[in-house]
Amino acid sequence: MLKTTLSIMTATMISMMLMMLCTIISKNSIMDREKMSPFECGFDPKSSARSPFSLQFFLIAILFLIFDIEIAIMLPMIVTLKMSNILSWALTMAGFIMILILGLYYEWKNNMLEWTF
């Protein structure tokens, strides 16, 4: 218990010292018009460089990351097939896949997968 408390206190102290050091060292930059304008080889920009990107693209990217992580979680389950009870393994895998399918169905019904312009 003492080791755990000591390691938590050490980690907290190191992180607080790093945050204070970064605050002291950091240089406040003045935001003027030239620094806020986009750089295009000395020419005036033809359009706004800070135009917002499609929110639908962001949602699709998040969905991809979620499904990618879920596949990465499922891969080690194949290794545990030989070491575990086949019934409990099958129920766990079926439940996990059912949650994925229900999530995909929910996203499909709410038109989250439609790419609109």
Q: For residue 3, is it within any domain?
A: no
Q: For residue 79, is it within any domain?
A: yes
Q: For residue 61, is it within any domain?
A: yes
Q: For residue 22, is it within any domain?
A: no
For 101, the domain range is 54-117
Q: For residue 13, is it within any domain?
A: no
- CA–CA distance from 107 to each of 2, 38, 49, 92, 110 (Å)? 48, 37, 32, 23, 5
Q: For residue 25, is it within any domain?
A: no
Q: For residue 105, is it within any domain?
A: yes
Pick the closest to residue 40 from 53, 50, 49 (CA basis).
49
Q: How many domains, in total, are found in the chain? A: 1
In terms of pLDDT, which residue wins out, 51 or 56? 56
- What number is the average pLDDT over the span 58-63? 80
In terms of pLDDT, which residue wins out, 37 or 12? 12
Q: For residue 47, is it within any domain?
A: no
Pick the closest to residue 50 from 62, 58, 38 (CA basis).
38
Kindly report whether the global pTM for this prediction surpasses the value 0.85.
no
For the packed helices 55-79 and 86-109, what is the interaxial angle rounded to 10 degrees? 170
CA distance 67 to 69: 5
